Structure 1
Amino acid sequence: MKTLRRASIQKQILILATVLVVLVSVIAMVSEPFIYGRNDRDFRNGLFAGQAEMVLDHFREAASTQEEDAVLSAAVRLGVRVEKLAPGNAAAAREKIISSSDLVERIKSLLASSILTSIRDTLAREPKADFLVVRVDAERALIFHMPVFPPRLWLAPAVASGLLKIVIPLLLLAVFSSWLITDPLTRFATAAKRVSADDNTDEPFEAEGASEIRSLAESLNVMRNRIQKMARDRTMVLSSVGHDLRTPLTRLRMRAERSGDPELRRLMLADIETLVSMIDGCLAYFNDPSEGETDRKVDLSSLLQTIASDFSDTGVNVAYSGPRRLAYVCKPQALTRALTNLIDNASRYATQIDLILRHRDDGGVQIRVADNGPGLTDELKAKVLEPFFKADESRQIGLKGGFGLGLPIAQGIIKKAHRGQFALLDGEPNGLVIAIDLPAV
């Protein structure tokens, strides 16, 4: 089985087709004698002809009326409907009387069936019953009533044979082939949806199944590793440049502070402060805040209340809503940074911010950061999660702007470090709601 699963798809299809042919042949060889031996019309017609001939011979040997009646009674028990031709009907039936030597052939001729006659008998409510008048001797004749076979005796063998030889083998093969061929593809597609550029899994695409799927998985793993290496190299270069820029900025600050023109000194120091903030933001984005921090159990309610109180002390209107105590295992410093970024971002665009905590029935938690700002369009909801994108034109009401890194940093902390869900929703009646769903631990 393992060898078949690792074979190429072309070879798997060839093997499965061969198995189907062998399976149908074996089933037909085993089942057809049983099916047709019990339900075939030709078999039953031949049996009736033999029984009718036997009745005719016994009736010819009967020497008295009692013996003739005994033969007819025995015929009824055999399932052969036969009666003596009354003397008064002999003249009327003279044209239909046949000789005893023609009995078997005439019975087979009358009972012979084809597709058309079988369909006709199936559709007819009361199929016509034929009869034969057979001469026994110069003075006696018998009337044999031909049997009327139910339509099922024609349909049953064909239906049973079709089910056993075609339908059931095809169904079994379809189920087996779908598991054999499509199951690796389904798992492969699931892994492709789950994988991301910042996933740390070494081999996200499991190399199993057909040879074509294994080859594709290996190629994608190589490509993904190369992309991850390029991303790490880029991050390392940008982080190094950000650190190196601090030295010349420090010298610029010192020289600007020695400037004799107060207005020029103020403008230069403001520009330097902007550059420092940009560098700090980039370094914060490139360095994962959750690295090096271990999960530990904290009072999540107390953590969120502390964040809300800290912002309230600086003049930002943040209101906490939720349980007084809620124990949860997380990375508290990383989660604090994510929520701080979200509230700080919302404070630039809104006058009221609500920090809401809820406990789910499955053990997870819900955190909502809702503001009363102008909100975002559906198009901007996707763009603001990209690094360095700013939607100040649509939301900003304050003077201080960011660099477009607050939301991407928070999203990375929630999704990577806590395996949670992060979404942007519309507030009621206006504003933006950032929905965070953290899983049960």
Structure 2
Amino acid sequence: MIRLRALDTLSRRIFVILLLGITIAAIAGGEWAEHRQTESLHHIQAERAVERASALLTGLQGVVPKRRQHEAKESSAFLRSANAADGSGMRDAELTALMQPRLLPGMQASVARLPTERCLIPGDGESQVGVSESAFEEARDSKAAVEAGACLRMDAKFADGSALDFITGPPPLLKPAQGMDLGFLTVLGVATALLALLVAQIAVAPVRTLTRAAAGFGPGDEASPLRERGSSDVRTAIRAFNGMQRRLARHSAEQTHMIAAITHDLQTPMTRMRLKLEAIDDDGIRSRLLSDWQAMRAIVEEGLELARSTHLREEAVLLDVDSLIESIVEDETEAGHQVTFQTAAGRDLRCRPQMLRRCVQNLVDNAIHYGGKADMATRVDAQGFSIEIRDAGPGIPEDKLEAVFEPMARLETSRSRETGGTGLGLTIARILAARNNATLALANLPEGGLLATILFANPAYD
């Protein structure tokens, strides 16, 4: 199924569904009301035709039978004598009952409905009653009323037994149907769109709040419950999210405490082990065993660092990031490492200083260890605020750029601190970057070397 990109959000789908639903319902209701109104007007037209015919027949009662046909011709422009081609039509009991009380005693009449095309005006091909110019104009003005109303056949008998059968239509009251009013449709469309937009925004507001909370929840964050609001389904989802958030926070705390306890408990036996290793007389064996001991100690220390990084508590403050970078450069230079600060952004950034410093320090250590040097820069561009650390090492295979962030992941199989490291430095750096609402990514440089970028996509400068 092809999914329309324009309807990819819940708010847009609700908006379109409401807009279409309300519009269709309004148009259908308008058409139904117009139909009922038209039927009502048709009935009124028919009643007026009956009243006009009753008045005509009552007036002709006092006329001698030979003159009645002539008088009927002169009295109405839209009336003609009935003939065999007209047929008897469909008797209308309601109009007949309405007409009878209006006639004089001894008179009788019945009313039947005919197809509207039987009510013709002069020039339509049938003989017409009324040939004067004024009668012709009146008949033509009445055509719209006949087309929108009914064509009636009236069969009348006078008190003297003579009969008069004629075809007539309603008086000019209605105009031809014009369809839906454009102004009404415009107002309806605008009002419906505004209502649909309002309802869509109200409906998705709790969902957006839930989405922001889920996106912002990270390792070590406090489980701040969301306020339960919205429909029952949304409240249930928020309640489930709050429960999940509490369970994740509890699990993370338990995991951190467990790792911290293990690494702490290892300190004492490792110290005893170091003392025993120092007592070995054979220099070669002692050197190899001490090297393994140092690798084990590095793993324990960085494991403890990893545990701490997920549960650090630090408030965000406004920081001169360039000064922080410069202090790291000074420390590394004093230690004899080749570290430079090439480009300064010159912007203060709201962040967690200690977490950011440790994140950058881990990346600098990694660059020095594998690339021999670290060139740093801070930039502000359309993507946000970024801190870059470049090295001159061999880089990382493209398919391993994400894998190296996994705990204990190393490109080398050696466990030696001098060659492969512990495999936790980049993991800790990414966690610390995430705690600062930033991302950490690696990329190989075309000229060689590796580029590590800490990107604040939505930086706060005040």
After superposition, where does 1:229-240 map in structure 2 within 5 Å? 229-240=250-261
Indicate if the aligned counterparts of 2:440 and 2:455 stay in contact, CA closer than 8 A. Answer: yes
Higher helix share: 1
Is 1:269 aligned with 2:269?
Answer: no
Q: 1:232 to 1:129 in 2, by over 3 A?
A: farther
Q: 1:40 to 1:349 in 2, by over 3 A?
A: farther
Residue 318 of structure 1: SS of its match in structure 2?
strand
Q: 1:97 to 1:389 in 2, by over 3 A?
A: closer
After superposition, where does 1:201-212 map in structure 2 within 5 Å? 201-204=223-226, 206-212=227-233
Pairwise CA distance, 1:191: 3.6
Residue 452 of structure 2: SS of its match in structure 1?
strand
State how far apart, in whole Å, the 2-side matches of 1:184 and 1:329 are.
28
State how far apart, in whole Å, the 1-side matches of 2:451 and 2:388 are.
6
State how far apart, in whole Å, the 1-side matches of 2:419 and 2:263 are.
22
Indicate if the aligned counterparts of 1:184 and 1:209 stay in contact, CA closer than 8 A. Answer: yes
Aligned twin of 2:179: 156
Pairwise CA distance, 1:367: 0.9
Pairwise CA distance, 1:195: 3.2
Deviations 1:335-384 (A, max 9, x none): 2221110011122322453211123589x632111234333345423222
After superposition, where does 1:126-275 map in structure 2 within 5 Å? 130=124, 133-135=127-129, 144-145=139-140, 147=143, 153-154=176-177, 156=179, 178=200, 181-204=203-226, 206-275=227-296
Deviations 1:202-250 (A, max 9, x none): 325x433333333343234323322322221122122112112111111
Aligned twin of 2:166: none
Indicate if the aligned counterparts of 2:359 and 2:433 stay in contact, CA closer than 8 A. Answer: yes
Residue 134 of structure 1: SS of its match in structure 2?
coil
The aligned amino acid for 2:257 is: M
Pairwise CA distance, 1:96: 9.5
After superposition, where does 1:1-400 map in structure 2 within 5 Å? 37=37, 42=42, 109-110=116-117, 130=124, 133-135=127-129, 144-145=139-140, 147=143, 153-154=176-177, 156=179, 178=200, 181-204=203-226, 206-288=227-309, 291=312, 293-323=314-344, 326-360=347-381, 365-392=385-412, 399-400=418-419
Aligned twin of 2:443: 425
Figure out how many residues of one structure are paired with residues of the other and give that number.
Answer: 369
Pairwise CA distance, 1:265: 1.7
Q: 1:227 to 1:207 in 2, by over 3 A?
A: same
- Give unmatched runs, 5+ long, in structure 1: 1-16, 61-70, 86-93, 113-127
Q: 1:180 to 1:252 in 2, by over 3 A?
A: same
Which TM-score applies when normalising by structure 1?
0.63
Pairwise CA distance, 1:176: 6.7
Deviations 1:142-187 (A, max 9, x none): 6544625899944616x89x979x9999978866764565554454
State how far apart, in whole Å, the 2-side matches of 1:97 and 1:140 are.
26
Out of 406, 421, 432, the residue aligned to residue 402 of structure 1 is 421
Q: 1:312 to 1:130 in 2, by over 3 A?
A: farther
State how far apart, in whole Å, the 2-side matches of 1:140 and 1:412 are.
98
Q: Which moved more, 1:295-304 or 1:228-237?
A: 295-304
State how far apart, in whole Å, the 2-side matches of 1:233 and 1:248 are.
24
Q: Which moved more, 1:269-278 or 1:194-203?
A: 194-203
The aligned amino acid for 1:431 is: G
Q: 1:308 to 1:401 in 2, by over 3 A?
A: farther
Quote the sequence identity (%).
Answer: 22
